[in-house]
């Protein structure tokens, strides 16, 4: 008999709780709370699905509420799509939300192309109706149409700044052909896509309109993630390449140069350019001729700059820094060598010539610069008025192990311009470079590195 009494009590408690949970109030004074009043997305390329954003709906009341409808405003005609309480639908009716409970809605957007050159606003809303109440959560994003470039071979083309270009595979510039990229143009690369150049590249921006090479994802964390695309490759036979006022980031290798020849004329010149967030290297070169001025390279996996198997390299007023960095690297991040290992018992060896003038070589390792002459070739290195993270004595250079010895304004925020008390101020030699990386004039006592600090009068 006692067992029966306890069973009856448990049954009535269960019924009581169940009825309370299922008791729905239609009182119009009952409110809902939303985690945000606007679900916004970053700029998105048309015809590409975004990452997922979350919207949470809370019922702060003791009573349950029946939400008579939850709908995306334009329903099936909307660029936005929703998953409402685990159901993929742009409209759900009669959704009961118990007191003190919450409801999760996942929102994505896939913007249909509008055939416009300029970015455009894409709006909609999620509308909630309950107990004669209505709430409207705004959905907002910026769309951008683009020109698609599939894996193809091109010759003597000009890419303008009217719309971004999306490279989805490998684009090859043929020998004796030129790809010209106008100032202000944006080149976006899909996963593992690359630009291969056996002819020449002319990508010359200006201080107001940089040329951008980057991955094709903008939303969420992707804006700062390395390794999203392959790189820009300069192949044997490629000459007369110019890059100026450009930004190259979030790939594997910024510039991969393999242009061996019998002269020391630069096959690529780089000016007023930033290369960063590369999972392998900023510049990786083999038996090549490169000249770079006012160039900033930071946060790269293996090398900020690597020049192997000889070559001719000239870096003036550059800043190379891997502190701070996303990557752990035990070896110097700026390396030059007269050789490279081809196989277990074979080296490729060529003469090496290096000029490093008014340049900052910095990072978290005790030694950040390595010049290797292990191949026995002729190695010439001219180093003058540089700031180098090193414990060695280097004539005509400034070496230190001190934290932020160059005097970066805020390296943690990737601001490698110089602070007011920076050691690099006024320590450079006159190298005939009249402007800094931003296009600002250098004074009669130039600063070391890519930035010139001009104190306000």
Report d(CA 449, CA 387) in Å as an integer: 8
Q: Are 409 and 415 in contact (CB under 8 A)?
A: yes
Q: What mean pLDDT comes out for the span 430-437?
A: 97
Encode pLDDT of 391-405 as tens digits. 999 999 999 999 999
- The bridge status of strand 102-109 relative to strand 53-58 is antiparallel
Q: Is the pLDDT of residue 10 over 50?
A: no
Report d(CA 258, CA 283) in Å as an integer: 11
**How high is the pLDDT of residue 457?**
62
Radius of gyration in angstroms for the set of CA atoms belonging to the chain, rounded to a whole number: 30
**How high is the pLDDT of residue 365?**
94
Q: Are 267 and 259 in contact (CB under 8 A)?
A: yes
**Positive or negative, the Cα torsion across 339, 450, 400, 385?**
positive
Q: What mean pLDDT comes out for the span 432-452?
A: 97
Report d(CA 159, CA 177) in Å as an integer: 14
State phi, psi for 366 to the nearest 5 degrees. -65, -35
Report d(CA 261, CA 156) in Å as an integer: 23
Neighbour-count burial of 368, counting CB atoms closer than 10 A to its CB (0-12 exposed, 13-18 middle, 19+ buried)? buried
Q: What mean pLDDT comes out for the span 68-92?
A: 94
Report d(CA 433, CA 234) in Å as an integer: 26
Q: Is the pLDDT of residue 23 over 90?
A: no
**How high is the pLDDT of residue 7?**
44
Residue ranges per domain, the chain?
Answer: 33-143, 145-418
Chain mean pLDDT for the chain: 93
- Token pair belonging to 300: 């790269």
Q: Is the pLDDT of residue 130 over 80?
A: yes
Let me know if domain 33-143 sits in CATH 2.60.40.10: yes
Q: What mean pLDDT comes out for the span 131-140?
A: 97
Q: Is the pLDDT of residue 213 over 60?
A: yes
H/E stretch holding 20 reads helix 2-22
Q: What mean pLDDT comes out for the span 295-323?
A: 97
Cα of 165 vs its chain's centroid, Å: 16
Report d(CA 45, CA 136) in Å as an integer: 26
Q: What mean pLDDT comes out for the span 199-223?
A: 92
Residue corresponding to tokens 């709908």: 71
**How high is the pLDDT of residue 13?**
36
**How high is the pLDDT of residue 18?**
44
C-alpha neighbours within 13 Å on the C-beta side of residue 173: 28
Q: Is the pLDDT of residue 219 over 80?
A: no
Report d(CA 111, CA 114) in Å as an integer: 9
Enter the pTM of the model: 0.88
Where residue 253 falls among pLDDT bands split at 50, 70, 90?
very high
Percent of the chain with pLDDT over 70: 95
Percent of the chain with pLDDT over 90: 87
Neighbours of 109 (CB within 10 A): 24
């Amino acid at each position: 008999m006692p067992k029966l009494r306890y069973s009856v009590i448990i049954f009535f408690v269960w019924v009581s709780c169940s009825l309370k949970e299922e008791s729905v109030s239609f009182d119009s004074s009952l409110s809902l709370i939303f985690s945000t009043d606007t679900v916004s997305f970053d700029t998105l390329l048309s015809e590409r699905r975004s990452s997922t954003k979350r919207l949470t709906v809370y019922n702060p009341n003791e009573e349950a509420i029946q939400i008579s409808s939850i709908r995306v405003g334009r329903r099936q005609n909307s660029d936005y799509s929703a998953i409402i309480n685990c159901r993929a639908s742009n409209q759900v009716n009669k959704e009961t939300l118990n007191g003190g409970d919450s409801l999760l809605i996942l929102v994505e957007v896939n913007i249909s192309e509008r055939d416009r050159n300029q970015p455009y606003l894409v709006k909609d809303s999620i509308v909630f109706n309950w107990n004669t109440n209505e709430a409207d959560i705004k959905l907002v994003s910026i769309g951008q149409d683009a020109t698609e470039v599939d894996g193809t071979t091109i010759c003597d083309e000009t890419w303008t700044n009217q719309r971004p270009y999306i490279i989805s595979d490998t684009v090859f510039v043929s020998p004796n052909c030129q790809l010209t990229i106008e100032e202000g143009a944006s080149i976006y690369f899909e996963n593992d896509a690359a630009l291969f150049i056996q002819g020449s590249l002319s990508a010359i921006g200006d201080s107001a309109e940089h040329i951008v090479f980057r991955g094709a994802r903008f939303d969420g964390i992707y804006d700062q993630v390395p390794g999203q695309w392959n790189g820009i490759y300069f192949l044997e036979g490629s000459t007369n390449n110019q890059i100026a006022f450009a930004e190259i980031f979030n790939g594997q290798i910024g510039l991969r140069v393999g242009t061996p020849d019998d002269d020391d004329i630069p096959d690529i010149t780089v000016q007023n350019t930033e290369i960063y967030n590369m999972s392998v290297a900023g510049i990786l070169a083999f038996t090549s001729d490169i000249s770079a001025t006012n160039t900033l390279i930071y946060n790269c996996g293996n090398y900020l700059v690597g020049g192997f198997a000889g070559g001719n390299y000239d870096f003036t007023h550059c800043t190379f820094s891997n502190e701070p960095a996303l990557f752990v690297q035990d070896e110097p991040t700026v390396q030059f060598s007269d050789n490279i290992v081809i196989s277990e018992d074979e080296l490729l060896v060529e003469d090496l010539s290096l000029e490093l003038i008014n340049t900052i070589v910095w990072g978290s390792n005790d030694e950040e610069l390595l010049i290797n002459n292990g191949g026995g070739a002729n190695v010439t290195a001219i180093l003058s008025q540089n700031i180098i993270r090193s414990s060695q004595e280097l004539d005509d250079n400034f070496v230190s192990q001190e934290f932020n010895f160059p005097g970066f304004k805020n390296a943690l925020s990737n601001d490698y311009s110089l602070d007011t008390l920076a050691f690099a101020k006024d320590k450079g030699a006159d190298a005939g470079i009249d402007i800094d990386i931003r296009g600002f004039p250098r004074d009669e006592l130039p600063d070391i590195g890519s930035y010139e600090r001009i104190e306000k009068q």
